[in-house]
Structure 1
Amino acid sequence: MMEYQTYLPHKDLSSIVKCYWTLKVEPSESKGKQIIVPDGCIEMAFLLGDGIKRFTNDDCFVLQPNTMVIGQITKPFTIEPLGYVNTFAVRFYPFGFSAVHSAGMDKLKDKETDLSELFGSRVVSELINQIRAAKDTKERIHSIENFLFGLIKEKSNQERVVQMAIDTLLKSQGSASIRSIGKLNSNKIRDLERKFLKQVGVSPKQLGKIIRLQTAIKLMLDEKDKSLTQIAYDSDYYDQSHFIKDFKQVTGLNPSDFFGDKSFLLSTIFYQKE
């Protein structure tokens, strides 16, 4: 049985942190590969159980660091636990992690980065000790929030432009064009795209695609009697073939295989608990 829980952040962090989450899975239930579907967010994860493999292709894999940041995912992200899963994590909004670290978010895309590479081994070692010594999730959240409050920076005008664009994409379920975000000429559009890559990790178009796919998957889970054609229409896709193409590009499978494939079980739980 998978035990997945989400927790709200402190109100002063709620603009950058979407939630904290925990996942516990017994070894008998954690066997087999899982495909993580992109959600437009960056995660900071602490693996407190056994290790987890992430496959770079069908046969090759890397062992994920015990403390890591997982950047924007734009393609199938396949993992396989080695035993007991006990994970505590921070889910940042698309723009959120750039408020606590100045690295280009595009450098973190489609991979995991050891936390010590980003914040230094001494600071991270102290944080890990606090996370592991905590008696419960409440204490872990307290430790990670102290860490984040110590890192958060003042927002700049450039960051507000990116935030405005993200808000527009979210409100339109990913269908808004860059030009509709504001009165942008070609130079301003290119400037926004550069800021997006640095502060979000993907282009506005790519984030819009992920948000629209999220909308479609949630409809598939909540309204299982709907046809793929209706799902595509309700999610602002041009047509069913466009929806199928996007779905296959980021998951590796057709949407018709979504419910019958056990490798989507974890992603299904994540989406149903949103």
Structure 2
Amino acid sequence: MLNIKTKAPEEGLLSYIKECYFFQKNTLEKKYIPVIDDCCYDFIFFEESNSILEYSTDKKQIKIEFKIFTIHNLQPPYKIKLNEKFTFFTIKVQPWMNSFFFSNIKKDGVFSLNEYDRFNIIELHRRIRKESLIDKKFRVTESFFLELDLFLSKTSLLVKEICEFIYKKKGIVTVNELSKRYSMSRQYLNRVFKKEVLYSLKRFITTVRILDLIKYKIKTTTISLTEISYKYNYFDQSHFIRDFKQVCGVKPKYFFENLPEFMLRH
């Protein structure tokens, strides 16, 4: 049984929260599921709190034994090992809000948010668990974040504009082009961007480009990998494969032949 449900937040939260989604599956066929890092941090509620995260090309592993956690500053690609049943409720923040919500995490790894309760996330977890209906879980989440004192600083407003432009361009843009557009040096632009997003500008651009390509391919099944790589300005196949593996951990052909189920929410 597979149950996936996603919801974009109401307009008053769109500047802060990207989406919420519920993901539940029983009787798993595959033990390791690829997880794509989209450069947006998450508040993750994991009912079973019993798994292993595999990360980096060296396939390092960390146990996930927390009900509430996030992943901080680990090298992709990621895979998560799951048992016969797993249940995730995830709140994904906007990339320009990464620092606002998570900047005081000082260690790398899978980080228990029980130790990091600046926003009283334990209370939100308690409220969500009380609700049996998924739509009510979403409503409780929205109400909780609307009660918080959320705001955008002058710097985060600038980074928000940059992120939205990159999304609009589907990641088909360079750091040099952004430097000219915003009349800032590459070094300053990178520094400001990483301070708010906690990822480098180049990595964010590559991630947006590959994820947009994936979503397009899922919706347009007849397009070939060669055609879609050209559509996204990859005229060198080795460059395309290298960027794809950097984001997804596997080559494009293998990825689309074994599409991770969590991508179905798109």
**TM-score, normalised with respect to structure 1:** 0.83
Evaluate the alpha carbon distance shift between residue 151 and residue 183 of structure 1 in structure 2; reply closer, same or farther with a 3 A threshold. same
Is the 8 Å Cα contact of residues 72 and 110 (structure 2) preserved in structure 1? yes
- Classify the secondary structure of the residue corresponding to 2:222: coil
**1:62 maps onto 2:77 in alignment:** no
Counterparts of 2:190 and 2:60, CA distance in 1: 35
Report the counterpart of residue 213 of structure 2 in structure 1.
216
Report the counterpart of residue 239 of structure 2 in structure 1.
242
Counterparts of 1:59 and 1:164, CA distance in 2: 36
- Classify the secondary structure of the residue corresponding to 1:29: coil
- Classify the secondary structure of the residue corresponding to 2:190: helix
Counterparts of 1:211 and 1:35, CA distance in 2: 17
Report the counterpart of residue 265 of structure 1 in structure 2.
260
State the one-letter code of the partner of 2:158: V
Evaluate the alpha carbon distance shift between residue 74 and residue 214 of structure 1 in structure 2; reply closer, same or farther with a 3 A threshold. farther
Shift of the alpha carbon at 1:199?
A: 1.4
Report the counterpart of residue 10 of structure 2 in structure 1.
10
Is the 8 Å Cα contact of residues 7 and 19 (structure 2) preserved in structure 1? yes
Report the counterpart of residue 228 of structure 1 in structure 2.
225
Counterparts of 1:60 and 1:89, CA distance in 2: 21
**TM-score, normalised with respect to structure 2:** 0.86
Listed one character per residue, the Cα deviations across residues 7-35 of structure 1 (whole Å, up to 9, x for unaligned) are: 23122101221221101101x22641011
Is the 8 Å Cα contact of residues 51 and 63 (structure 1) preserved in structure 2? yes
Shift of the alpha carbon at 1:4?
A: 0.7
Counterparts of 2:227 and 2:89, CA distance in 1: 37
Shift of the alpha carbon at 1:73?
A: 7.1
Q: In angstroms, what is the RMSD of aligned CA positions? A: 2.7
Give me the identity figure in percent.
24
**1:127 maps onto 2:119 in alignment:** no
Report the counterpart of residue 112 of structure 1 in structure 2.
110
Counterparts of 1:58 and 1:74, CA distance in 2: 10
Q: More displaced, 5-14 or 45-54? A: 45-54
1:174-193 pair list within 5 angstroms: 174-181=171-178, 182-186=181-185, 189-193=186-190
Unaligned runs of 5+ in 1: none
Report the counterpart of residue 34 of structure 1 in structure 2.
33
- Classify the secondary structure of the residue corresponding to 1:112: strand
Evaluate the alpha carbon distance shift between residue 102 and residue 84 of structure 1 in structure 2; reply closer, same or farther with a 3 A threshold. closer
Counterparts of 1:233 and 1:74, CA distance in 2: 28
Shift of the alpha carbon at 1:255?
A: 1.1
